Structure 1
Amino acid sequence: MTILVNGVEVQEQDWPSPQLAAAHELLRQHAVMRGWLDDDAAPELVEQAIERVLAEEVHVPDPDEAACRRYYAQHLPRYRSGELVSARHILLQITPGTSVPAMRAVAEAMLGELRAQPELFAERARSQSNCPSGELGGELGQLQRGATVPEFEQALFEDAPLGVLPRLVKTRFGFHIVAVDQRIPGVQLPFEHVRERVAEDLRREAETLAIHQYVRVIAGKAQLQGVELDAASSPLVQ
C-alpha cells in the first residue's frame, strides 16, 4: 500500500518499517514549515534540519538523584562489570529497494527452521548472512555491553535464553537471527560507581519517549494514508 504524508508519497523500502519512513517525512515537512529547510534540500541537509527540530522542540529534563536510583534498581543487570555474552547471528540486510515485508517473511521462515534445527545455523550464516561474520558461521565472539547497537544489545543481555532466540532482532541494518551460546554474568557495580552512566541511560530513554510523543502530536495534525502512527490530537499525551 502506498504511504502518503500530507499528500507526499514516502519510499517505504528505504526504511526498516513504514512507521519510521512516515515519521521521518513528518519531521522533514515540519522543518520545511519552520523555515529551516528547503523542500527540495539534499538528504544531508534534511538530516541536519530534523536534528534541529528535535533539539529545539523536544525538551528532556535532566534526571534527579531519586529517579536515577529507581532506574538503577529496576535495571541491575545492566550495571555489571565483566558481563560477557558469546553469540552468533545471521543478518538479512535491508538496502534501498528491498521489500521489508518480504525480507521479514524470509527471516521469519529461516528463524523457524533454525529454532527446530539449530545445528544448521553455521551453514545458513555462511550462505545467507550479509555480515562478514557469515564466513565464520555467524560467530561474533564474546561481546560486552556497549559493543553493539542498542536493539542488538538488549536482545543479548536482557534475560535472553541460551540458544537461538525466539524472535527476530530488528536494527537499522536489517533483521538478525541471533543465537546466544554462553553467558558470563560479571559482578554487580554499586550505584555510586555508575551514577553518571545511569543518568545517561535514563536521559536517553526519556529522550526516546519524548520524541515518540512529539511525533504523535504532529501526526495528529497530519493527513496520513497507508500507515498508523498512534497519532494524538493533544500535546498532553502520556
Structure 2
Amino acid sequence: MSPEPVIVGGREIPAAAIAAEAQHHPAPDAEAAWQAAAQALAVRQLLLDEAERLGIAPGPREDAEGRPLTEEDARIDALLEREVRTPEADEAACRRFYEANRERFASPVLVEAAHILIEADPADQFAMGLATGDARTLIRQLQADPDRFAELARTRSACPSREQGGNLGQVGPGQMVKPFEQALFALPERTLCLDPVRTRFGVHVIRSGRRAEGRQLPFEAVQEAIAGYLEEASYRRAVAQYIAILAGQAGVSGVAIAGAEGAMVQ
C-alpha cells in the first residue's frame, strides 16, 4: 500500500523527493525513515513558504562552522532569526537548574579494579554453579593469602586482563556491566569482594584498589555551560512551537508535525 500523499499548503511533496530524503534519516525500518523524511521536507516547505510570504531575502550566510549556506537554508536561517526570539538564561535560572541537577556537575567516582573471571554461559545453570564454586574457592585462597591475586588471575582468569594480573585499571560509572559495577563500587578501598559476582560473561572474583571520590564542580565553573544548554533547549521549543503554528495556518496532511510540547498537528 502506497503512503498517503504529503500535502503542505495545498501542494503535494513528490514521493520521489521523500524517497531521496529518506536516505539521510537512519531508522529501524523503511516506514520510519519515510515518515522522518516526509516530516523534514514538510517542515522545510512550511519555513520556505513563510520566508517567501514575508519577503525575506537574506543574502550570503554561513553555518556555525563558517561554511556558506545554500540560498534556501539562508532564507530559513534568516526567518528563524527574525521570528523566533528566546530570553537569555539569567543567573537565577542557571542556579535553579544547577541545584536541581547537582549530580550532573560532579566528577565521577573512580575505583581501581582487578578481577578473576571464571567463564560460563549464564543460560547453563550447571556450568554457572561450577563456576560459582570455583570462584568461592579462589576467594577463600585469597582470604588466606591476599598476595596471590595476580598469580591466580594469570592462571585461572578467562579475561585478557590476566596478562596484567587481573588489573583493569581505573573504572568509572557505566564502564562495566551492572552487576560488576554495583559490587565494585560498594566495596571499601582495597577490599576483596567476599561473594562471587555473576554477569553475562560468567562469574567474577573482584577486588577494589584505590578509590577517588567524585568532586562537586562549583556553580561558577559550569554556569556558562548551563546557560548555553538552557538557551538551546528554549530555542528548540520555540522553533517547534513556531513550526506547529505555521502547520496549523497552512494545513498539512499525510505527515505529523510535532509542536512545542510534543502535540501532533496533522
The two structures have a TM-score, normalised by structure 2, of 0.43
Q: Which has the higher contact order (CA 8 A, sep 6+)?
A: 1
The structure with the larger Rg is 2
The two structures have a TM-score, normalised by structure 1, of 0.48
